[in-house]
Amino acid sequence: MAGILDSKSRIMDVVITEQGRRQLASGKMKIEFATFTDAGSFYADGGNGIIEDPSSRIYFEAASDLPSDLVTLETDDAGLLVPYRADSFSAGGKNLVISGTIRDPADISGAASAISTAILESWANLQVIGTNDPLDDEQGFSLSRQVINFSIRKDFPFSQGDVKTAVIDDIESLNHDVRLSNLQNFKYLPPINGMGALAGIPLGSFPNGNETLDADRQSFESRLAGLEFADVEFIETSIENNFVMQAFELSGDDGMIKLDVIDYGLRPSAANSTLMTRTLFAGKILKDGFGNPTFVNIFTIEIS
């Protein structure tokens, strides 16, 4: 939280909230965006439509450690939900409490609705100051469909001869996963000579252990074409189309698990080369028998 103080000595006094301290301690604090709120402001009419002089008032530090400090649900290093609470909703670990009652495992739609409502409530409670764009006549947000059903049978989505089960130890770890191959730190980088007549020449022959599946766009598009898919259109949204998306798995055995998402980056759209498509992989990160994190892909999401 922050508050504007004496303009002659300090412009802004910043206080890290409990959530910020938690992220700072885990090395995951990354400031990317800023919002402003007047939730702690006091407005009084001093007469003639002029605000009352506030210089004689006593001011306290901006309130922090509020439930609304955590807008969306987050997980810790163990993959468990960080304690989260809203007006009639709370979550922690793998448990969900709605209106004081632990979630019914069979009520999937009710849990999904409660999560969305809680996030919107936390965002509204921040009382963020905003500006309506006069050139944007769409201020709401609506989608073409709310529910998507996928077919899972003995012969689909896996065909005859496909691998239907896999041992975690046999799956490529994150260090060799092709879904991270677009990042510099995960590319095949054999050591080379940096100076002298042998500059640029590899020091030796080192095997490339990276996964080769979907290593190029053509093979990637070909594999996705054989999978069942569903299109969702943004019927009503802002010009920037800024939105937050999270994926959860709800089950009776494991409770509620937030899925991990890998951002594969932007690439030209297969349908229209003038447009760019962002590919996201949603799934779970499990540890193999060697202690290496391994990503198991469940859904592939393309946004364009």
User: At a CB cut-off of 8 Å and minimum separation 6, what does 94 contact?
Assistant: 80, 81, 254, 255, 256, 257
Cβ of 7: how many Cβ atoms within 10 Å? 7
Q: 100-141, pLDDT tens digit by residue?
A: 777 776 677 778 888 888 888 888 888 888 777 777 777 778
Cβ–Cβ under 8 Å, residues 52 and 109: no
The pLDDT assigned to 261 comes to 92
Which of the pair, 2 or 123, is modelled with greater confidence? 123
Q: 56-88, pLDDT tens digit by residue?
A: 777 777 777 778 888 888 888 777 888 888 888
The pLDDT assigned to 281 comes to 92
Which of 187, 190, 186 is closest to 201 using CA atoms?
Answer: 190
pLDDT higher than 90, residue 282: yes
Distance CA 208, CA 54 (A): 67
The pLDDT assigned to 1 comes to 47
The pLDDT assigned to 92 comes to 86
Q: pTM for this structure?
A: 0.76
Question: In the predicted model, what is the mean pLDDT of the chain?
Answer: 80
In the predicted model, what is the mean pLDDT of residues 25-53? 81
In the predicted model, what is the mean pLDDT of residues 208-223? 68
In one-letter notation, the amino acid at residue 27 is: G
pLDDT higher than 60, residue 7: no
Q: What is the DSSP letter of 199?
A: T
Which of the pair, 145 or 130, is modelled with greater confidence? 145
Distance CA 121, CA 66 (A): 13
**DSSP three-state, residue 289:** coil
Distance CA 213, CA 228 (A): 19
Q: What is the DSSP letter of 114?
A: H
Measure the N-to-C terminal CA separation of the chain; round to a whole number of Å.
34
In the predicted model, what is the mean pLDDT of residues 29-46? 81
In the predicted model, what is the mean pLDDT of residues 22-26? 84
Which of the pair, 240 or 12, is modelled with greater confidence? 240
Block residue for tokens 């919107």: 120
In the predicted model, what is the mean pLDDT of residues 256-267? 87
The pLDDT assigned to 55 comes to 77
Q: 152-162, pLDDT tens digit by residue?
A: 777 777 777 77
